[in-house]
Amino acid sequence: MMKSVLCVVAHPDDETIAVAGTLSLMTSQGTDAHIVCATRGEGGELGDPPVCTREELPAVREAELRCAASAIGASGVTFLDYVDPLTGPDDELFPFEADFDALVAQMQTLVREHAPSLVLTHGGDGDYGHPAHILMHQAVKMALENMSDPPLFYTFAARVPNIEDHLWNQNEPAHLALDVRPWLDAKEAAARCHKTQHVLFMRKKDAKTLRDTLRTVEAYHRHLPRLDEGEPPRDPFADLLRAAGAWEPDHRNDG
């Protein structure tokens, strides 16, 4: 059993979209899960009709993330208090404003405080290219690479061959992929917490129900310890996923 996992995301709902099934699996087996969120998603959508005002959105989305964390069995949430900027014209996305070195130092402090067995965060491509996701990836990666004894480090939304999804990080082939349908009820419960974002979820997936928006495959790429090309991961997280039915995607003919 893995003792603990630290899941680091840029916005409320990132944890639900990408890893809620896996976190539900882990917490059901006794792993302590803690979520770190850089912003309160104050630049995001309000819902249609609006769930709240723009001024109320930070507090509402904080509550939504705490609700989602409870739904998947996480023990706690830490907000880093960065401000999520508004979406620009033509849906242009922006990173939150942060001193990069200070952000790296924050990550190292959190890792030392929580002493996780595993750190999960966004992929290097920002999942679907979101600049805030890329910033979080870079900060977590540098923080861990500069530690003398870092925990296991995986990124989520790694690319899985033969499954089309705009979320995949195209430059990070999945070392492991897990069908999370056995934990889909918990993932749906977490998604229901994010009421301000339901219209966005439905629009992104062109779905008829909220459950239809949920990704049933969650996939991971290991960064630390580094793997040689073609080497399968052998570590407690990999063992846990394999025991739950995860597979190692074959990338040999994957463009």
What is the mean pLDDT of each successive set of 10 residues along the chain, which is 255 residues long?
95 98 98 98 95 98 98 98 94 96 98 98 98 98 98 98 95 98 98 96 86 97 96 97 97 75
Confidence at residue 254, expressed as pLDDT on a 0 to 100 scale: 73
Q: How many CB atoms lie within 10 A of CB 60?
A: 20
Of 3.50.50.60, 3.40.50.10320, 3.40.50.150, 1.10.10.1200, which CATH number belongs to 4-243? 3.40.50.10320
Nearest-CA neighbor of 154 among 221, 214, 247? 221
As to burial, measured by CB atoms within 10 angstroms (0-12 exposed, 13-18 middle, 19+ buried), residue 37 is: buried
Q: Rounded to an integer, what distance in angstroms lies between the CA atom of residue 23 and that of residue 33?
A: 7
- Which one-letter amino acid corresponds to residue 215? R
Positive/negative CA dihedral, 146, 154, 22, 239: negative
Confidence at residue 255, expressed as pLDDT on a 0 to 100 scale: 58
Query: For 190, left (φ over 0), alpha (ψ -120 to 50), or beta?
Result: alpha
Quick check: 121 and 13 in contact, CB under 8 A? no
- Which one-letter amino acid corresponds to residue 68? A
Confidence at residue 253, expressed as pLDDT on a 0 to 100 scale: 75
Quick check: 12 and 65 in contact, CB under 8 A? yes
Positive/negative CA dihedral, 10, 13, 18, 24: positive
pTM for the whole structure: 0.97
Q: Rounded to an integer, what distance in angstroms lies between the CA atom of residue 119 and that of residue 34?
A: 10
Confidence at residue 207, expressed as pLDDT on a 0 to 100 scale: 82
In the chain, count H helices and then E strands: 8, 9
Domain ranges of the chain: 4-243
Nearest-CA neighbor of 67 among 211, 195, 156, 185? 195
Peptide bond into 89 cis (omega under 30): no
Confidence at residue 204, expressed as pLDDT on a 0 to 100 scale: 75
